[in-house]
Chain A
Amino acid sequence: MNSLTHTHKAWLLLGGLLIATLPGWAGDQYQLHLASLIAVYWILIAGLNMVVGFTGQLSIGHVGLLCIGSYAFAVLAGKSGWHPALALVASGVLGGVCGLALGLPSLRLPGFYFAMATMAFALIVNDLVLAQVDLTGGGIGLPGPLFPAPFDSPSGFYYLVSLLALGVTWLSWNLGRHMWGRALISIRDNPVAAQSVGVAVFRAKLTVFVFSGVTAGLAGAVFASLQSYITPDTFVFELSLFFFVCIIIGGRGSIIGPFIGTVVLTALPELVAPLAKLGNFFYGLLLLVVVLVVPEGIGRVFDIIRERLRPRVVHREPISPDLARLDRALKYKP
């Protein structure tokens, strides 16, 4: 987690090259669309990872923040005619504000209470969106505005979201590897001990929660643009579950784990048609299996396999006494 080894750096470079040149080697526009969707989801999940994976706050209502970001963008950039870049920033800010509003009362609550509060939040947002017909178009929804050139083509848009995702990833990686990140993990593992060593528990929780709100707002804005049309039907509770599962599958406390989780879980139903029908049942089953068998996430499975194939060589350096020298020392009489 701290610094990168050479192997890590090499992998990252390769991955980065693949991602940067994706419009070139992707098969067709559909696959490019899928890649952009993964990037959009990852913007939200990277932030949520801080809350769920690092701080251990089980928020299952983040789809509400995504919804707020999407509608904010659609209304500001569409109806009110703001410049999309400005609307994007505004969506992020609004997401953060709502994260603050949600987090302030609920973060003090114990685990289950907090989860229920976030779930209720998502349902309330859905209610409000449907009810405020004049603002949100109610059931009809709103069109999602495009970004201006050069981001209005599919590959241009892909670069935009990839850059955003990269930025968010870098932010959260920095958050995770410095002392701040350690503080978060300590809160997850044992809040009482954390408090006793001086970690400002509530302030830390609230800060990451607001951060996740900002990323959710940003993700919502680009999501609206990608989908080209948003309706309340899109933001169902099952989407929250999906985000949640990506993080848990990937492994809490890491960043690359949930990223791989996101890629796999988004692409899988597209590739395996029968899975698409089972959809949410499959996510539930996967979550249950992971929680029961490898709660640290699938990433752990790779670690275990790696250990079996290429066990870390532990250098044993026995310290053998230099008997002659010991003898001289014992016999030495000044």
Chain B
Amino acid sequence: MKSRFVQTTHALLMFTALVFGGSVLAADPIKIGWISSLTGALSSAALAENQGVQLAVDEINKNGGILGRQIELLTRDTSGDPTKAVNFAQQLAFSDKVHVVIGPVNSGEGLAAIPILARAGVPNIVIGSIDELIDPQKYPRAFRVINTNRQWISTANDYALKNLKKTKIAIIADTSGYGTASAKTATELLEKAGIKPVYSVLVDPNKTDLTDEMNKARAAGADIVMPWSAATGLLGRLLNARGDMGWRVPVVGHPALMAAQIRKLLNKPEYWESTFAAGYHSTTFGADGKLPQRTQQLVDKVRPKLGGGEIDVLFWWVAMGYDTVKVIEHAIKTSGSTDPVGIQKVLESTKDFKGVFATYSWSPTEHNGFPDSNMTVNSANTFKDGSFKSAPK
């Protein structure tokens, strides 16, 4: 028999919980964690993605939020350090108790942080490209919005083999984690198509001159060079070497070939000709010179936030950041709550969700949502306002 004191206290507590609990539930914000690398290496991509994320969050909140609840965005900067990414993943999942996490940005951080989020059962929108980040068995609540590395490489390979009809391929990658992994995948995919590269090398991303490698590639009889590296310094030097040598071969490879910084590193602007990279239909000017309607709408919305003038970052970064939040909005709205099980079910049955960056589809066995149909190849020197023209067919 409980004492009078205990009973009264019990009732009082219940009463308080009901009163305050009820009111708290009504205004309870939806917490989205955003693990980014706003400083440090490769920060330019993260900063652009951040613009997209912020814009989407502000837009949704102005229109009343999701299911009447405002979004609270918790941004964490890892500076490219995987240990920090792990710490922030733990913090967001257990301390801040967020409902969804976007990121991390860099694949190296993703490899460490995504398993932690998976273990905590927090839904995770993945924006790193390395294939190993997605696994419906190991990480059941991780869904990828960006294309996979494989999609980049096979698009470039297809263009080289089928459109340009080249068969003697030289692969030049950097010694970083991304470079070594991509070189391996590229060689694999080529071998599946029956082609063996005539020359393949890994280069330190800070090597001051690539003339030797290009000479060796030429000596091996290469008729196309395919670089797999995100290091703009290396790519700039590669294009310079090609130009200085007077070697007329196309260069097809990683989207970083089209980055605005490359233009500044080139000895002559002509060196950017005959340079193609994997790109997206959503950020390609059509035959009529116009961007797809949804992309153009977002460009107009974002332009004032980027200074109002010409956009000099790759626009697909911004579009992708925007889409991550829209995907979350779709998942929570459709499932009716922030329950992770519900979110997972909704995303797994999403077909053709129209975003700006792409139209996404997931299934219980396929957590990579980016369609092959959105991949295309762009010409690097057609950069304008963050988008490109199609490469010649």
Check if A and B associate: yes
Contact in complex: A234, B83 (CB < 8 Å): yes
Q: Which of B91, B112, B120, B180 contacts A130 (CB 8 A)?
A: B180
> In the complex, which residues of chain A have a beta carbon less than 8 angstroms from the beta carbon of B91?
30, 270
In contact, B180 and A133 (Cβ under 8 angstroms) = yes
9-residue interface stretch from A8-16, A86-94, A139-147, A206-214: A139-147
A139 touches B112 (CB 8 A): no
The answer to whether B79 touches A279, judged by C-beta atoms less than 8 angstroms apart, is yes
CA A269 to CA B81, docked complex, whole Å: 13
**20 sampled A-B residue pairs with Cβ under 8 A:** A29-B90, A29-B93, A30-B93, A33-B87, A33-B94, A127-B175, A130-B175, A130-B180, A133-B180, A138-B177, A140-B111, A141-B111, A227-B86, A228-B112, A229-B82, A230-B112, A231-B111, A232-B108, A233-B106, A234-B83
Chain B residues closer than 8 Å to A231, beta-carbon distance: 82, 108, 111-112, 177
A126 to chain B, nearest CB (A): 10
Distance (whole angstroms) from the CB of A185 to the closest CB of chain B: 33
A52 at the interface (CB under 8 A from B): no
B84 contacts partner chain A, Cβ-Cβ < 8 Å: yes
Contact of B108 among A33, A127, A131, A233 (CB under 8 A): A233
CB distance from A62 to the nearest CB of B (A): 15
In the assembled complex, B39 has its CB within 8 A of some CB on chain A = yes
CB contact list, A232-246 vs B, under 8 A = 232-234, 236, 239
Q: Name 20 extra pairs, CB < 8 A, besides A227-B112, A277-B38.
A: A27-B95, A28-B94, A29-B94, A33-B90, A130-B177, A133-B180, A138-B177, A139-B108, A139-B177, A139-B178, A140-B130, A140-B177, A141-B108, A141-B177, A228-B112, A228-B115, A228-B116, A233-B80, A233-B109, A234-B108
**B184 contacts the other chain (CB 8 A):** yes
Q: A30-B90, A33-B90, A139-B179 are in contact. Are A227 and B77 (CB under 8 A)?
A: no
Which residues of chain B are within 8 angstroms of A276 by Cβ–Cβ distance? 77, 79, 84
Closest partner residue, chain B, to A270 (CB atom): B87
Closest to B118 in A: A228
B132 in the interface (beta carbon within 8 A): yes
A174 contacts chain B at the CB level, 8 A cutoff: no
Check A195 for interface membership: any CB of B closer than 8 A.
no
Name, among A30, A33, A143, A228, the residue most crowded by chain B CB atoms within 10 Å (CB to CB).
Answer: A30
Asked if B176 and A130 sit within 8 Å, CB to CB, the answer is: yes
Residue of A whose beta carbon sits closest to that of B77: A277
User: Is A34 in contact with B87, judged by CB distance below 8 angstroms?
Assistant: yes
Decide: A138 and B181 in contact? CB cutoff 8 A: yes
Q: How many angstroms from the CA of A25 to the CA of B38 in the assembled complex? A: 33
Q: In the complex the two chains form, what is the Cα distance from A131 to B38 in whole Å? A: 29
**Interface positions of B from 81 to 133, Cβ below 8 Å from A:** 81-84, 86-87, 90-91, 93-95, 106, 108-109, 111-112, 115-116, 119-120, 130, 132
How many residues from B make CB contacts under 8 Å with A? 35
Q: Of residues 100 to 146 in A, which have CB atoms within 8 Å of B's CB atoms?
A: 127, 130-131, 133, 138-141, 143
Contacts of A143 in B (CB 8 A): 115
Q: How far is the CB of A26 from chain B (nearest CB, A)?
A: 10
Q: Chain A residues near B81: list those with CB within 8 A.
A: 233-234, 236, 279
Report B260 CB to chain A, min CB distance, Å: 24
Alpha-carbon distance A143/B113, docked complex (angstroms): 11
Which B positions have Cβ atoms within 8 angstroms of A? Answer: 38-39, 77, 79-84, 86-87, 90-91, 93-95, 106, 108-109, 111-112, 115-116, 119-120, 130, 132, 175-181, 184
Contacts A227-B82, A276-B77, A277-B77 known; A139 to B87 CB distance under 8 Å?
no
**Contact between chains at B87 and A233 (CB < 8 Å):** no
- How long is the Cα–Cα vector from A33 to B116 in the complex, in angstroms? 11
In the bound complex, how far is the Cα of B95 from the Cα of A33, in angstroms? 11
Q: What residues of A have a CB within 8 angstroms of the CB of B179 in the complex?
A: 139
Decide: A30 near B94, CB < 8 A? Known: A37-B87, A141-B108, A141-B177. Answer: yes
Task: Give B383 Cβ to nearest chain A Cβ, in Å.
Answer: 28
- For A139, the closest partner residue in chain B by CB is B177
Contact of A133 among B115, B132, B176, B184 (CB under 8 A): B184
> Shortest CB–CB separation between residue B335 and chain A, in angstroms?
26
Of all chain B residues, which has the CB nearest A276? B77
Q: In the complex, A217 Cα to B179 Cα: how many Å? A: 28
A135: shortest Cβ distance to chain B, in Å? 13
Chain B: CB-nearest residue to A126: B175
Q: Are A233 and B177 in contact (CB under 8 A)?
A: yes
Interchain nearest-CB distance for A162 vs B (Å) = 18
* Bound-complex Cα distance A177 to B226 (A): 61
Chain A residues, CB < 8 A from B77: 276-277
Q: Which among A227, A228, A233, A279 has the highest number of chain B CB atoms within 10 Å?
A: A233
